[in-house]
Structure 1
Amino acid sequence: MTAADRFVERVDAAVTDRPAVVVALFVVVSLVAIGGVVAVTTAAGADQFTQDIPAQEALDDIDEEFESSIGGAATSAQLIVSDDNVLSRPALVRILETQHRLETRSTLRVGSTSSHANAIATRLDPTAETAAEQRDAVEEATPRELAAAIEEADAAGAVGAQVSADYNPTAQRAGTAIVGVTYDLPESATSVRVEELQTRSVGVVDSVPGSEAGDNVILFGDGILQNEIAALLTDTAIIVFPAALLFILLFLLFAYRDPIDMTLGLTALGMSVLWTFGFMGYAGIPFSDSLITVFPLLLAVGIDFGIHIINRYREERLDGGEIGDSMRITTDQLLIAFILVTITTVMSLLANVVSPFEPNRDFGIVAAVGMVFTLLVFGIYLPAAKVLVDRGRTRLPIPEFGTTPLGSGGSRLGSVLHVGVDLSRIAPVAVVLLVLVGGAAGGVYGTGVDTEFSEEAFFPDQDRLDAYTQLPEPFAPTQYTFLQVLTLFEEEFEQDFIGSVTLYVDQSVRDDDSLELIDRTTRNPPDTFETTDDRRAESTSIVTVIDDHAEADPAFRETVERNDRLGTGVPDRNVDEVYDEILASPAEGQARGYLAADRGSARIDYTIRPGVDGGEAVADVQALADRTPLDAVATGQLVVDEEVIELLLDSAVRSLIAAFVLTALFLTLSYRYLEGKAVYGLINLIPVLTTVGLLVGSMRLLDIPLTPINAPILSVSIGLGVDYTVHFVHRFVDEYKGGKPIHEALEVTMGGTAGALTGSMLTTVTGLGVLWLAVIPLIQDFGALLALGVFYAYLCSIVLVPSLVVVWDRFGSVVGLGLEANLRSEEEVRTDGGR
């Protein structure tokens, strides 16, 4: 007797002899799991996928070292102000009053604010240091004095950089402006603290007369962004979970046709999810976008296991078996199949631990542990609960409901499901060739699937949000500012989050040749960069800030010329003196955006030409970083996104290969150990590979890109495919080795298994497909792919496997690998095992 046989016998004894003890034990463990559930935290957004990436580390350094960051530092925010004219006196007063309230509210921890209004006010009154004093200066100025101050500030470059692209210097008009807000927080401050402060700041902004937060004033920062992404998770859960529950209830009612059995199945599903959430809490794994898909996946496998248990048990009861004997036969036959399904699925999930992305590694771990919990709950608890309930039914006057197996007898569904066996009699070779060629073609076609990664990908388009706002509470989603901010940046400031790339110069820039070396990086620019009239790269750096200020300030121009020995217009000696002077000038704010406070690093921004492929631009800036004598790192949001995409493809392929190799080894060795024939493992794998090929081809056909959220789909599809083929093949093996001819064994297998597979497929596809209702587009796509993967796995099991078995038996015998040639009795297997 094998170890697997001994395990099954122990489970049989516990389930049939002591079902009440088993149920009680599982209830106690569930109570313990609740303690972990309350400890679960959340994590969301693109930041989860950019950890340990050099470009992101450089981006973080820029956020810490420079006063203007790329995309906003975690402790900073942008206040976007709209008005008829943000350079008018009322608008300037309103902006300065807002800055004053933000800076003086101690509970907000605002360290400083900056705007074009500050620069204009200091021209009016150089002694005005606080926002309140500057507000008074603007209020008291005459129209002529105010116009002159605006002109002076504009000449110093302090206006154009902070107002929208519609700025008209002559008319002194602009429709939108940005106010920078920096929070004075220690490095140890948590993201939750930043979110809290920025959210409270919105209330202060809204309190200023004339300001309406979310309308003409929008406060936006990394904290608010993360808060909105977390809200997306909540909104998705509120919409998806009730819809999934409704559909699952409907299909389970169809599958079980018995409210008591359906209740048992639902409690088992709830227990699996509860245990998994509890594990997350105790293990300290946060609930994130990636993990939303774990729970529909667990529901998919749980529903499958549950329907198989109840269906097989009913099959035995219909033949006149007693409650205990029927369940013993059921668990004898199904537990091994469940174990094979679970281990292969766990292997496909754990293949994600090779991913460079922590959320994907968490997904693999949590889903794998959840799958083990699902095996225990549906393999032990559900049979015990079913025995306990049915024995109670015999003593109580409880009416009988549906008791026949799904798809059994001469039902219309049963006749439809036999099409696979019918085809295996008529043209098995044609079926196998057609399906395998289709899978291979899908795989080849799918090699051209797109990849995508950006913060914007987490947010739905405005039309979808507008549609969801028509839903009643609590289903109506939150009002998100991210899309408004994105539109403002693109339309009002003519920039987006991927319109430039950056070189982070990670070395001291105090040497005489430092500015020359920075300037040299703009010569002979690649084709992807915007260029100036003298064929230099369109860029912004401390060199361009010095050059612009030299044009506006004759005294500073003399300093530059005095320290320019080569006559290039760039200081090449006494650079510290040049820095000191510009940092004491009105251009100080711009200079600090490109020169670190300790002068130990610098930053160069390059503008990308419109329409240029992002990958080409990233390759060019990385090549520039490699060839410059400066110690430089290519960074910027575009660079980070492209590096994530490169890792994404590598991660998906590695996980797929790892999942396939591990699954192939396990199945062949398992069937060799259990049945004496490794060939059964290979028969399981061929439909799985076909499923993967069809799924990848569908991704490209449906224009669903590969993203960090759905990257595990390739490896997970192996686990999903194995789930269906193992049930079919394992039942066929039991019938075939009992002496039935191959087609009769297939007929019995189809009659006993196909109905359960169909019920499982319908509930699973619906339960997973309901993710299409998610607010987050990436989760919509993953739900669609999971549902497609299950459907393809089901079709391959019903249509391909019967013909594959016949073809393998017919032609495998030629090389001694046919099923008949390798068929040995259990006694022979045991005898060989004992030698």
Structure 2
Amino acid sequence: MTDRDTEPAERARSDPLTRRVNPLIIDRPKTVILAFLVLTAIFAGGIGGGGGQQAGTDQFTENLEESEALEDMQENFDGGGRASGGSSANLFLEESNVLSKPSLLRMIEAQYRLETHDTLRVSSTTSPASLAAQQLDPTATTAEEQRRVLEGASERRIRGALADADEAVGIPVSTDYNPADGSASVAQLAVSYDTPPLADADDRASLQFRTVDIVTGIDGYGSGENVVVFGDAIIEQEVNQLLTDTAILVFPAALLLITFFLVVAYRDPIDLGLGVIALLMTLVWTFGFMGYAGIPFSDSLVTVFPLLLAVGIDFGIHIINRYREERDSGSDIADAMRITTRQLSTALLIVTLTTVIGFAANLTSTLSQLQDFGIVAAVGIVFTFLIFGVFLPAGKIAFDGVRAETRFPDFGTSALGREGSILGSILPVGVTAARAMPAVVLVAALAIGAAGGAYGSGVDTEFSQEAFFPNEDRIDQLQALPEPFAPSEYTFMAVLDYLEEDFEQGFVGTVTLYIEDRDVRSDVALEDIDRALQDPPPAFESEDRRAEATSVVGVMQSQAAADPEFERTVERYDTTGNGIPDRNVDEVYEELLASSAGDRARNSLTEDRSATRIEYQLDVDADQTEATLAARQVAEDMRLDAVPTGDLVVNQVVINRITESAINSLIAAFLLTASFLMISYWWLEGRAVYGVINLVPVLITVGVLAGSMRYFEIPLTPFNAPILSVSIGLGVDYTVHFMHRFVDEFEAGEELYDALRVTAQGTGGALTGSMLTTVCGLGVLYLAIIPLIADFGLLLALGVLYAYLASILILPSVIVVWHALETRYLPALRARASPLSG
């Protein structure tokens, strides 16, 4: 090995930026510290400002045509929604027979109390009780009138009315409904509210919880026993609460684990304090930037902060460990930090820029939340570089200067992986393998990476509201934790049980074509709608080659069959004789809306006849992709301007964009990172091939990580869509440190295997400390209540572990194989190819 005391400036190459900044760190450390503290105070002023909070699936559906069509449809057909002052909730009522006469009377009593409450602002209610009463007496339109109808009806007549209501419009009861004896175990009572136009989730949730209080005031009903509320505002509030509870649980646990491993890595209170302060400054700067930029804190951004901690820990351990190496060799404080910053600042800058590329590659996504992830993560990594690359070294110099002038004791200040230590004897195992069989190691690693990538190409993709909810067992386990770490009580757990077990459905059920077109009133409209019902795709339920669907054509035909006068109107305006009016269609609409079928018609046609919808029932064997493609095909074949929509369609569109984003960001990250590394090494070392060598272990890491996703049954979601591009940034973090140190040693005259051994022990020790800290710190995300965050934590921990193993075990063999090719085989091949050879 060369004498460290004589290491000249040319030994530790650096870029122009580093050469300008490093003198400030060495000569004016207190000024640097003060400047960073002032900046921290400025960024702290932005925390909590502007952006707010987003959670759940709505954040991923903004600006989607299908989602906007769904909102317009709900505005026109389902009571207006929030923008116009609307809200809704469903009460699940459970009894031994929820359709017995006493139960129906109790149900209609609940509707009466809700509709007549002074401050609840209920605009309408619907239940099996009110539907049965309307079948018995169509003129009974209020809950009080419907109660009198049910009181005067016999059990037999009520059973018949329930069967008629179920045939006509369907009654909201569980799948164990038996029309013969009029029995079912669970019923839904739907409530619509006339809330203020801009009422927030808390206001609307308060209304919905007060609804439960009113209902449970009736004998036979008990909240949480046989009455459970499912409201749009409650779900929104509880999804936000999930995010808060996850942060309360995960962040302290992550900080405790990280602090523990930092204690092990630093073994010195001053160094530990500096590292923790730098980590906290990174979070403050990033949160402050989000506030000033108006970027809301969302589920997907929860994962950014463990990533920043991971990179910050890595930077900090490398700087402190490299500084200790120089101090162990006899350098004084200033010289040791000067050598450290000259050598590491360039590596840190390369790591920062490649990691920024990996994160910023998510800007190629069409999902705004993934774009926000890319922006916040990229800016946060730049902050991390500045704080750990400038503030931390300045702080170290300042505090070590104080220590040298006082009797402050020294603690563990030796470098990790030093020669003679247990770790130092283990770390060169990759070098040993590279000396014995480098080609075998490289080929085996490439085969494993390729196999992992091929296997991982079959990973599933998921996007639904249910994906944000933990299972009940998970909640029960976490409830044993002390306050404030125990999660809240969540209504949606019971709701999901009802939807899945008693109603055999999730949050989606049908596919809808929404048609908002001036031609809805034209003479071709009804025929176009009728054609959309004929010969449906296999994904749609059908009978006699006609789709099972709800549409204005279906209402018109059923009304014509029941009302001779309306039938004559249809025939009068039907010139082709196919039963579908093709003349004066607007007059047909007007008469239909004024008829006894008007309420059913308004479910498919707006009052001003400017929009209509077709709601298709799906075949039981159809999957989400098939259903969405079928809806798009039918919409494209229509003359009217139709947009496929509904929760199922919107979710599938997001799934497609997630997959597209993952692939595009991976390709962009790889190409940009490869280009940047080759340019950087060409500029700094005159050897672009060093950049290619860096990427070989990274590609293996990405392939194995993709395979791990499928093996552990972790689907691709909006949360982990960036994971593959991020894994390139994390992988490069480890390989750049190893490669940069090796080049420095090798170019200075060390023999190949000696340079690899010094690198594996010196830089490998820092990599080991960084890996242990970040794997455990990121692995804490697995404790998250939200399953998507837990999965992302597992993937991040695996990605860091794979990147570390690839750097320590595989990169030495890649370097040895490259060296053999460059020094032995390529010159021989060139000599043979030369016409002058021989």
So what's the TM-score if we normalise by structure 2?
0.90
Q: Matches of 2:513 and 2:54 in 1, distance apart?
A: 30
User: Which of 804, 807, 822 is residue 812 of structure 1 equivalent to?
Assistant: 822
Structure 1 residues 697-712: aligned runs within 5 Å: 697-712=707-722
Offset of residue 168 of structure 1? 3.8
Offset of residue 143 of structure 1? 3.9
What is residue 76 of structure 1 aligned with on the other side? 87
Structure 1 residues 354-393: aligned runs within 5 Å: 354-393=364-403
Q: Matches of 2:85 and 2:799 in 1, distance apart?
A: 39
User: Which of 637, 650, 657 is residue 667 of structure 2 equivalent to?
Assistant: 657
Structure 1 residues 16-95: aligned runs within 5 Å: 16-39=26-49, 40-67=51-78, 75-84=86-95, 85-95=97-107
Is 1:160 aligned to 2:177, yes or no?
Answer: no
Offset of residue 192 of structure 1? 5.8
What is residue 533 of structure 2 aligned with on the other side? 522
SS of residue paired to 1:112: strand
Is 1:490 aligned to 2:497, yes or no?
Answer: no
Does the 8 Å contact 2:419/2:761 carry over to 1?
yes
Q: What letter is aligned with 1:405?
A: A
Describe the superposition over 1:453-486 as per-residue Cα deviations: whole angstroms up to 9, x where unpaired. Answer: 1111111222322322333332222222334323
What is residue 236 of structure 1 aligned with on the other side? 246
User: Which of 6, 12, 20 is residue 22 of structure 2 equivalent to?
Assistant: 12
User: Which of 448, 459, 468 is residue 458 of structure 2 equivalent to?
Assistant: 448
Does the 8 Å contact 1:500/1:636 carry over to 2?
yes
Q: Matches of 1:372 and 1:742 in 2, distance apart?
A: 34
User: Which of 778, 786, 793 is residue 796 of structure 2 equivalent to?
Assistant: 786
SS of residue paired to 1:479: coil
Q: Matches of 1:253 and 1:329 in 2, distance apart?
A: 25
Question: Any gaps of 5 or more consecutive residues in structure 2?
Answer: 1-8, 829-838
Offset of residue 126 of structure 1? 6.9
What is residue 730 of structure 1 aligned with on the other side? 740
What is residue 114 of structure 1 aligned with on the other side? 126
Q: What letter is aligned with 1:437?
A: A
SS of residue paired to 2:297: coil
Does the 8 Å contact 1:501/1:618 carry over to 2?
yes
Q: Matches of 2:211 and 2:44 in 1, distance apart?
A: 36
Is 1:802 aligned to 2:773, yes or no?
Answer: no
Describe the superposition over 1:586-616 as per-residue Cα deviations: whole angstroms up to 9, x where unpaired. Answer: 6444332222222212111212122323222
Describe the superposition over 1:175-207 as per-residue Cα deviations: whole angstroms up to 9, x where unpaired. Answer: 333333333356655556545554555555555
Does the 8 Å contact 1:115/1:180 carry over to 2?
yes
Does the 8 Å contact 1:68/1:593 carry over to 2?
no
Offset of residue 427 of structure 1? 1.3
Q: What letter is aligned with 2:653?
A: E
CA 1:394–1:156 in structure 2 vs 1: closer, same or farther (change >3 Å)?
A: closer
SS of residue paired to 1:82: strand
Q: Matches of 1:583 and 1:157 in 2, distance apart?
A: 21
Describe the superposition over 1:59-114 as per-residue Cα deviations: whole angstroms up to 9, x where unpaired. Answer: 11211111379999994323223143444455445444544554455655444333
SS of residue paired to 1:518: helix
CA 1:19–1:45 in structure 2 vs 1: closer, same or farther (change >3 Å)?
A: same
Offset of residue 515 of structure 1? 3.4
What is residue 171 of structure 1 aligned with on the other side? 181
CA 1:771–1:252 in structure 2 vs 1: closer, same or farther (change >3 Å)?
A: same
SS of residue paired to 2:228: strand
Does the 8 Å contact 1:168/1:174 carry over to 2?
yes
Q: Matches of 2:436 and 2:163 in 1, distance apart?
A: 86
Q: Matches of 2:542 and 2:134 in 1, distance apart?
A: 35
Describe the superposition over 1:755-775 as per-residue Cα deviations: whole angstroms up to 9, x where unpaired. Answer: 100010011111111111111
User: Which of 778, 781, 785 is residue 775 of structure 1 equivalent to?
Assistant: 785
Offset of residue 789 of structure 1? 1.1
Question: Any gaps of 5 or more consecutive residues in structure 1?
Answer: 819-835
SS of residue paired to 1:77: strand
Q: Matches of 1:221 and 1:418 in 2, distance apart?
A: 60
Structure 1 residues 475-486: aligned runs within 5 Å: 475-486=485-496
Q: What letter is aligned with 1:115?
A: S
Q: Matches of 2:156 and 2:587 in 1, distance apart?
A: 33
CA 1:190–1:353 in structure 2 vs 1: closer, same or farther (change >3 Å)?
A: farther
Is 1:531 aligned to 2:542, yes or no?
Answer: yes
User: Which of 181, 190, 200 is residue 191 of structure 2 equivalent to?
Assistant: 181
What is residue 415 of structure 2 aligned with on the other side? 405
Q: What letter is aligned with 2:461?
A: T
Offset of residue 542 of structure 1? 2.5
What is residue 834 of structure 2 aligned with on the other side? none
CA 1:755–1:22 in structure 2 vs 1: closer, same or farther (change >3 Å)?
A: same
Structure 1 residues 622-701: aligned runs within 5 Å: 622-701=632-711
Structure 1 residues 286-305: aligned runs within 5 Å: 286-305=296-315
Q: What letter is aligned with 1:768?
A: L
Offset of residue 393 of structure 1? 1.8
Alpha-carbon RMSD across the aligned residues, in angstroms, is 3.2
Offset of residue 429 of structure 1? 1.5
Offset of residue 491 of structure 1? 3.3
Offset of residue 548 of structure 1? 4.5
Q: What letter is aligned with 1:44?
A: A
Aligned length, in residue pairs: 816
Structure 1 residues 496-645: aligned runs within 5 Å: 496-507=506-517, 508-532=519-543, 534-548=544-558, 568=578, 576=586, 579-580=589-590, 582-584=592-594, 587-645=597-655
Does the 8 Å contact 2:85/2:197 carry over to 1?
no
Offset of residue 328 of structure 1? 1.6
Q: What letter is aligned with 2:362?
A: N
Q: Matches of 2:81 and 2:464 in 1, distance apart?
A: 14
Q: Matches of 2:460 and 2:475 in 1, distance apart?
A: 25
Q: Matches of 2:784 and 2:92 in 1, distance apart?
A: 32
CA 1:5–1:119 in structure 2 vs 1: closer, same or farther (change >3 Å)?
A: closer
SS of residue paired to 1:634: strand
Offset of residue 579 of structure 1? 4.3
Q: Matches of 2:482 and 2:314 in 1, distance apart?
A: 34
Q: What letter is aligned with 2:124?
A: S
Describe the superposition over 1:689-718 as per-residue Cα deviations: whole angstroms up to 9, x where unpaired. Answer: 121111112212222211111110111111
Offset of residue 348 of structure 1? 1.0
Is 1:275 aligned to 2:285, yes or no?
Answer: yes
Does the 8 Å contact 1:625/1:634 carry over to 2?
yes
CA 1:205–1:669 in structure 2 vs 1: closer, same or farther (change >3 Å)?
A: farther
SS of residue paired to 2:161: helix
Does the 8 Å contact 1:116/1:158 carry over to 2?
no
Offset of residue 342 of structure 1? 0.3
Q: Matches of 1:728 and 1:149 in 2, distance apart?
A: 78
Greater mean deviation of Cα atoms: 268-277 or 100-109: 100-109
SS of residue paired to 1:36: coil
What is residue 474 of structure 1 aligned with on the other side? 484
Greater mean deviation of Cα atoms: 336-345 or 164-173: 164-173
Greater mean deviation of Cα atoms: 655-664 or 507-516: 507-516
